[in-house]
Structure 1
Amino acid sequence: MFGNVAGGVVNQGLPGVDYTTFLVPAIAIQVALASAVTSGIGLVNDIENGMFEKVLVSPMNRTAVFVGKTLAEVFRIGLQIAIILGLGVLLGAEITTGVVGAVGIMAVGILFSFWFIAFSNMLAVLTRDQESTIIGANLLQFPLLFLSSAFLPLEVLPNWIQLVARINPVTYGVDAARAIMLDEDVMTVLEVTAFGGALDTIVPTVAVLVGLGFVFGTGVIYLLSRASSSDVR
């Protein structure tokens, strides 16, 4: 359906690129975004069944609490992205960079998921309510996807969407994955020419994703460090 509707538009922005190939990196990032929400939901469940209170009164480092949860989530996210890439190849998508590129796309998806995992955990700590965490994360998830370069090239979108996309984390995650997929520079939100080829997209986008992960990770660790046993009863 997407191919029939948007394939011609994509060819205007990236001539010669099949829409399935264009779309697979976006779906990989979408999977990472959707899966990251469940981390906060899991934390709410821990709060509701009393497990989180036991963690708070233990001598466990609060950073280790977040890191442990995150490692469990990223393993699942990496596996889901691998399945998406496999299905994409079966449907005709081409990973120009081969197996190494597939691993790179998985790594980008995992890196991208860090900030939203942290965000969903921040919602969980602040609301301590499963429904509020789900609503808060989902309200942000879909605008992020559609106000980005995920489904169409940025240059064919309205000017106001282009402005939003420039500060949208999804744009940077999708562009990084797409640059690996196509082995070419596809980023339009930043003008970088220092590295050459696909690296002109990959290096700055990965730097942005690392910065986001650090900022939101620091935020959730701060909230966890201030949480007390009485807060979650």
Structure 2
Amino acid sequence: MKNTNKTNIQSGPDKQLREAIASTDRPAKPNPLSSSLTFASRALLRIKHVPEQLFDVTVFPIIFLLMFTYLFGGAIAGSTSEYLQFLLPGILVMTVSQITMYTGVDLNNDITKGVFDRFRTLPIWLPSALVGALLVDTVRYTMAATIMIVLGLILGFQPEGGLAGVLGALILLLIFSFSLSWVWTTLGLIMRSEKSLMMASMMVIFPLTFVSNVFVDPETLPSWLQGFVEINPISLLVTGVRGSMHGAVTWEQVGWILLASAIITTIFAPLTMFMYRNKK
């Protein structure tokens, strides 16, 4: 009876475990895609367990759109319905641009808690932790944009560009937001705390969004301010998104958005990766 039990143990899970421990073969190194998707699933699980993180892409967009439409619509345009046609693309850009800062905030939290050091010791493609987080952030941007567009349609927004124009505007918005996220990841590696990062990001994003063509036509602004508004990257994006939604976008407008996105990514993505590898 004892011999039978011994034979069953040797041929069961214990034998497989001994063989795995004794083996000198190492598992294959994960490829960049699989490791990036793993970190993306980590970010999704964090949202699952802390759903309050979605307030910035669900509740805030609704508040912004309703508040600015009905609070300022009559004063600025004389009609809330007319102002909605002008405002929604701009408020869409403003909302999504502001939530891009949370990429850097999450990275800064990982550094503060020590998780960052653990990631750097793993045998993986090093940028996968950042790429995975950015992929999930793209999903969050899409959620915020979808909520605002649906609400706008309910309120009476009429995109003359049709479905193709709305999708084109969304693609331009996601491309620019992805590039803007690299700015905050760079700051996330520099700043010592989450609060200092948020303060620095607010000092950058608020002037860019409010001193732009989000709320008013630049022609109504003083001449000395129009020059800044015209070269403001947020204004370039708003012009392209607004034009795409209303079927009046030009290739020149699209080109400026892609150029601005490429410049931001070219500067801050390599800088982020250099600092990520050499962070102490």
TM range (shorter): 0.7 to 0.9
The residue matched to 2:127 in structure 1 has which SS? helix
Q: Does 2:230 correspond to 1:166?
A: yes
Match in the other structure for 2:268: 216
1:222 and 1:159, CA in 2 relative to 1: closer, same or farther beyond 3 A?
A: farther
Alignment map for 1:53-64 (pairs within 5 Å): 53-64=117-128
Hey, what's the Cα distance between the residues in 1 that align with 2:248 and 2:186?
36
Q: Could you tell me whether the CA contact under 8 Å between 1:114 and 1:217 is conserved in 2?
A: no
**Superposed counterparts of 1:1-233, under 5 Å:** 1-7=71-77, 18-185=82-249, 198-227=250-279, 231=280
Cα separation, 1, equivalents of 2:199 and 2:278: 24
Structure 2 unaligned blocks of 5 or more? 1-70
1:150-191, Cα deviation, whole Å (9 max, x unpaired)? 111122211222122233211111111011011115xxxxxx
TM norm structure 1: 0.83
What RMSD, in angstroms, separates the aligned Cα atoms of the two structures?
Answer: 1.9
Q: How far apart, CA to CA, are the structure 1 residues paired with 2:74 and 2:230?
A: 27
> What is the distance in 2 between the residues matched to 1:154 and 1:62?
44
Do the aligned residues in 2 keep the contact of 1:175 with 1:205 (CA within 8 Å)?
A: no
State the alpha-carbon separation in 2 of the partners of residues 53 and 94 from structure 1. Answer: 50
> Does the 8 A contact of 1:112 with 1:209 survive in 2?
yes
SS at match of 1:163: helix
Structure ranking higher in helix proportion? 2
Give the Å deviation of 1:131: 0.7
Q: In the TM superposition, what is the alpha-carbon distance from 1:71 to its structure 2 partner?
A: 0.6
Deviation of residue 115 (structure 1)? 3.0
**Alpha-carbon distance in structure 1 between the residues aligned to 2:159 and 2:270:** 35
Cα displacement (A) at 1:8: 5.2
| Alpha-carbon separation, structure 2, partners of 1:74 and 1:95 | 23
- In the alignment, the residues of structure 2 paired with residue 24 and residue 147 of structure 1 have an alpha-carbon distance, to the nearest angstrom, of 17
Q: Greater relative contact order: 1 or 2 (C-alpha under 8 angstroms, separation 6 or more)?
A: 1
Separation of aligned partners in 1, 2:260 and 2:180: 14
Higher alpha-carbon Rg: 2
Give the Cα separation in 2 of the matches to 1:134 and 1:204.
Answer: 28
5+ long unaligned stretches in structure 1: 10-16, 186-197
CA contact (8 A) 2:162 2:247 kept: no
Report sequence identity in percent. 25
Q: Give the Cα–Cα distance (whole angstroms) in 1 for the partners of residues 260 and 111 of structure 2.
A: 32
**Given that residues 115 and 212 in structure 1 are in contact (C-alpha distance below 8 angstroms), is that contact kept between their aligned partners in structure 2?**
yes
CA contact 1:180–1:202 (8 Å) conserved in 2: no
Deviations 1:96-142 (A, max 9, x none): 12222222222122112123311111111001311111101111111
> Deviation of residue 209 (structure 1)?
2.3
Query: Quick one: distance in 2 between partners of 1:217 and 1:94?
Result: 37
Q: Deviations over 1:182-225 (max 9, x none)?
A: 1115xxxxxxxxxxxx3332233233223323322222122212
Give me the whole-angstrom Cα distance separating, in 1, the residues matched to 2:126 and 2:95.
Answer: 27
The 1:164–1:181 alpha-carbon spacing in structure 2 relative to 1, beyond 3 Å, is same
